[in-house]
Structure 1
């Protein structure tokens, strides 16, 4: 990623390729691993709770540190944080692939989440700096975003193919190869661009944020096994509540908060952030449950399980591209509501299916989930950015990504708890109905708050606070 001394990029194409590949790598790590969970469980003798931590150890750290890593890049240099994050991610994923125990795997996933949290926000900043002309920058950001959608869609299928040929450890090897490719594409670069010491960090807010989300995740994952009224679970819930209250108090008083609360005064901003959380709560949670269902209940191999997701995953990118062209004519609300209703209806249909129903009966609902979910993301993002002051666009993007990842963490934790106790199929049905309810709630939120007069940020919000 050659950057000239005056700050202009010498090779914007290489910057985009490296940034997009690193984003693909970070997002695919959240989906491809789901197909690997049954063979991981068999090798290590893991419970559903243990497998939940394989997914959430990564996503929890990823969600909690996204905003702070973006601020760290501003302070010590974006390229430096990107390169260190990429190196940490590669090393952590290699450790995952070689892990001798479940504990080692979960610990390595935690470090991989830290690496991903450093890579994702800084990769977007590098693109923004490499492409100066607004139209070229918009196209580059669209390519970067599309790679994330492709990773989300292709993860289960790629994971299934790799496991069928090389075994479950190759799922992590894929990200090692992708990371090394990003390093090679980026090439050597001169000294890291200097950071700005006036960009301060918010350590108190960061500690409280990860404490709140981590405690809630622990309670949801372990609540069924330990008992919802047991001492450790009640203590975790209390810690989550107190940490959340403390976080909001700290952020309201901090001169440089990691989460600027004034942004939430705009209804559309709050609505889009909430919709992002609900979308990932339902979609990430159902991928986790269905990956286990296809293999543990229906007896599919990892390859066939990956292929079983194809009706859902193949339609995500299609609807992403289709709705992007329509937004100038339709606005954000109509496609957002339509997509959320379609996705929620598909999840509802899956939840109502009999466990013995043939696979063909799941195809139409999965098509609805994939196509509907793909319709939601572009207008949701556009609505959030339209409701954000120009000086805060980077922070707003980080808030949306963090809320979406947090939704995924909560969904996987809760749905894992539902299927861990008692009958798997009964728990899966409740989980899918909960996912459907979340998407229908997202549709109601969009109907009420998106594309309303209050969408524009107030003039007072134009000045960073």
Structure 2
């Protein structure tokens, strides 16, 4: 991989040299911080619940307040990066995420903790799309971009390895507030590296900030996620929210259609079957995996099978295989083709989830660990190529928008996965039976998305 290129600065600025390895290290540190921030929370859910005497349906908001804000503001974050500069928005997101993590650690009440988690979601909504958009511009050639995205995706797996393990140890030794401090060194390092390393890229492409569209889109996404989360506990409120989501999203579509190519989200993107297929497959994959990360540690701890530290260590096979396989995904795509690599990865997860559900309660952890390892392989095969398909299907001017949309799909899938599979878990009585039912449902969704990926994504 060539380490230095000449890349255009924003607007009419002259070309600036880009050190690719430094850029990739900076971006990887940032996404590692954002994903660790999510991963550590799953291990802290039960201790937080005990500390604040909170029920499972309330505890979901410790996870989903982050996800709701992240999903709702991703579109705005991506557009701001395109218009104002990806480096500037990247730095803003890193600073907000750092401050929010500190606020979580110092939260005196569950309400303040949930609000701080929501603010962390804002930071991630600025940070992650900017990092993907920078990759799209710095690596314009598909082969180089695929390698960079494979490494970028591996950081998600590394976060799954570091987050639960470090989180479990920190919780047992220092208590749950300290778990939110884990990400602070990572975000601080990403800021310090970004200042001299990241070039500035901006490309308005005739677009501008459209307040009406942003408000309608954010309200629609937030209301949709809220309705999903509250469907079991407060069905009336969920129904009202669902109606509001449909209305807000209809207004959003009407506004965007009237603006054409100047829209925040040009609707012609969705006429691209490859892009739409990547969106659907990504949502389905995270639907199942975030359900696993929420429910499996909760089940192990609530049944007395494992404590927080042991549960974090038990998740390691999934995370380590994700880390090891992700950098190889570009090579797999070259040999197998995009469609087969992604579909096979999602199908592996579909088969592994029921194995997790039925294997976790057994006295011998080996069956559950083998199933977790298969999910890691599946995610490693699919994650990087899915991101590459999404951002590669559009022009560089729309890189931030495409990065935002694929992450909207990822986070909507994650949030609905926690909500729906959490509801299945509760309806089945929780514990081992609830986990088995939830994982069976999650596996069915994954299988459907593997089929969608096969029929919609390019063979090569």
CA contact (8 A) 1:76 1:197 kept: no
1:463 is matched with none
Give the alignment of 1:213-232 within 5 angstroms.
Answer: 213-226=221-234, 228=235, 230=236, 232=237
User: Bigger shift: 360-369 or 305-314?
Assistant: 360-369
User: Which position in structure 1 is the counterpart of 2:3?
Assistant: none
Once the two structures are overlaid, the 10-residue window that deviates more, 75-84 or 130-139, is 130-139
Q: Deviations over 1:160-189 (max 9, x none)?
A: 232233322222101112112223333579
Long gaps (5+) in structure 1: 456-465
Equivalent of 1:440 in 442, 447, 451: 447
Which whole-Å deviations, capped at 9, do the CAs of 1:103-127 have from their partners, x for residues lacking one? 0010001111111111122234455
Identify unmatched segments of 5+ residues in structure 2: 1-7
> Do the aligned partners of residues 248 and 354 (structure 1) sit closer, same or farther apart at CA in structure 2, a change above 3 Å counting?
same
Residues 356-408 of structure 1, C-alpha deviations (whole Å, 9 max, x = no match): 55322312222222212222223333443554456544432332122111110
Aligned to 2:267: 261
CA RMSD of aligned residues (A): 3.0
Alignment of 1:81 onto 2:85: no
Query: Is the CA contact (8 Å cut-off) linking 2:319 and 2:376 kept in structure 1?
Result: yes
Looking at structure 2, the residues matched to 432 and 316 of structure 1 have their Cα atoms a distance apart, in angstroms, of: 19
CA distance in 2, matches of 1:6, 1:88: 30
Check 1:95–1:318 CA distance in 2 against 1; reply closer, same or farther (3 A cut).
Answer: same
Match of 1:308 in 2: 314
Of 239, 247, 263, the match for 1:242? 247
1:20 pairs with one of 20, 28, 34: 28
Q: Pick the aligned partner of 1:120 from 128, 132, 151.
A: 128
1:64 and 2:72 aligned: yes
1:104 matched residue in structure 2: 112
CA contact under 8 A between 2:22 and 2:197: conserved in structure 1?
A: no
Counterpart contact for 1:280–1:405, Cα < 8 Å: yes
**Are 2:342 and 1:336 aligned?**
yes
Structure 2: how far apart are the matches of 1:392 and 1:174?
33
Farther-moved stretch of structure 1 (160-169 vs 342-351): 160-169
Conservation of the 8 A alpha-carbon contact between 1:25 and 1:175: yes
* 8 A Cα contact 1:27 1:151, kept in partner: yes
Tell me the CA shift for residue 433 of structure 1. 1.5
Q: Check if 1:201 corresponds to 2:219.
A: no
Residues 164, 138 of structure 1: CA spacing in aligned structure 2 closer, same or farther, 3 A cutoff? same
Map 1:402-413 → 2, pairs under 5 A: 402-413=408-419
Deviates more, 1:178-187 or 1:352-361: 352-361
- 3-state SS of 1:258 partner: coil
Residue of structure 2 aligned with 1:398, choices 377, 382, 404:
404
How is 1:127-166 mapped onto 2 (pairs within 5 angstroms)?
A: 140-166=148-174
Report the equivalent of 1:462.
Answer: none
Give distance in 2, aligned partners of 1:177 and 1:31: 16
**2:437 maps to 1:430:** yes
Distance 1:294 1:201 in 2: 47
1:195, distance to aligned residue in structure 2 (A):
7.9
Deviates more, 1:355-364 or 1:87-96: 355-364
Distance 2:410 2:277 in 1: 13
Answer yes or no: is the 8 Å Cα contact 1:8–1:129 preserved in 2: no
SS of alignment partner, residue 154 of structure 2: helix
Cα displacement (A) at 1:153: 4.4
Q: Aligned equivalents of 1:152 and 1:124: distance in 2?
A: 19
Contact residue 61 and residue 114 of structure 2 kept, 8 A: yes
Equivalent pairs, count? 448
1:389 and 1:191 mapped to 2: Cα distance? 19
1:71-99 C-alpha deviation (Å, 9 max, x unpaired): 11233333332222222111111000111
Instruction: String of CA shifts for 1:414-461, please: whole Å, max 9, x gaps.
Output: 223333456113432332112101110011112222226xx9xxxxxx
Q: Check conservation: 2:277, 2:452, Cα contact below 8 A.
A: yes
CA offsets per residue over residues 135-154 of structure 1, 9 Å max, x none? Answer: 77765555434323422443
Task: Rate the CA distance shift 1:419–1:173 in 2: closer, same or farther, 3 A.
Answer: same
Q: Contact 2:32–2:155 (CA<8 Å) still a contact in 1? A: yes
After TM superposition, the score normalised by the length of structure 2 is: 0.87
Tell me the TM-score normalised to structure 1 length: 0.87
